[in-house]
């Protein structure tokens, strides 16, 4: 299955714009359907693509899983569909984040903590 990452990005950015406009126009209204927006498969694919394109994409979580192992195992689409199902039915339970200290840009000898999430499906 060929996934159109540009279409996912356009949908996410359009959704963010709509939600921003709604929040400005109706600051007292409750966000009733936010979970549906967040767990939409296009949102999850967009988040996956952002993670897959950053420098830490080969870094494993505390469970030893990397994006590559997921892609070569059950596959990206099946993984994200399983994650979506777990999120929507309330079965998802996040594992602890792997903590790593990374150097601060332009500040030799100084570090900042980075939390690397672990996905288990």
- How does pLDDT run across 78-109, given as a tens digit for each residue? 999 999 999 999 998 877 777 889 999 999 99
17 and 37 in contact (C-beta within 8 Å)? no
- Find, among 97, 101, 114, 113, the residue nearest to 63 by Cα: 97
Residue 45 burial class via C-beta count within 10 angstroms: exposed 0-12, middle 13-18, buried 19 and up: buried
Q: CB 22: neighbour CB atoms within 10 A?
A: 12
Kindly indicate the confidence band of residue 29, based on its pLDDT and cuts at 50, 70 and 90. confident
Alpha-carbon distance of 115 to 87, in angstroms, equals: 20
**Prediction pTM value:** 0.72
């Amino acid at each position: 299955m060929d996934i159109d990452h540009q279409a996912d990005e356009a949908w996410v950015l359009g959704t963010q714009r709509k939600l921003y406009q709604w929040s400005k126009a109706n600051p007292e209204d409750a966000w009733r359907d936010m979970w549906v927006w967040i767990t939409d498969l296009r949102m999850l694919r967009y988040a996956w693509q952002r993670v897959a394109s950053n420098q830490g994409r080969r870094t494993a979580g505390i469970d030893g899983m990397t994006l590559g192992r997921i892609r070569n195992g059950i596959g990206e689409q099946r993984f994200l569909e399983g994650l979506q199902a777990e999120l929507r039915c309330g079965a998802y339970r996040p594992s602890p984040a792997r903590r790593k200290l990374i150097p601060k840009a332009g500040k030799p000898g100084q570090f900042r903590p980075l939390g690397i999430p672990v996905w288990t499906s």
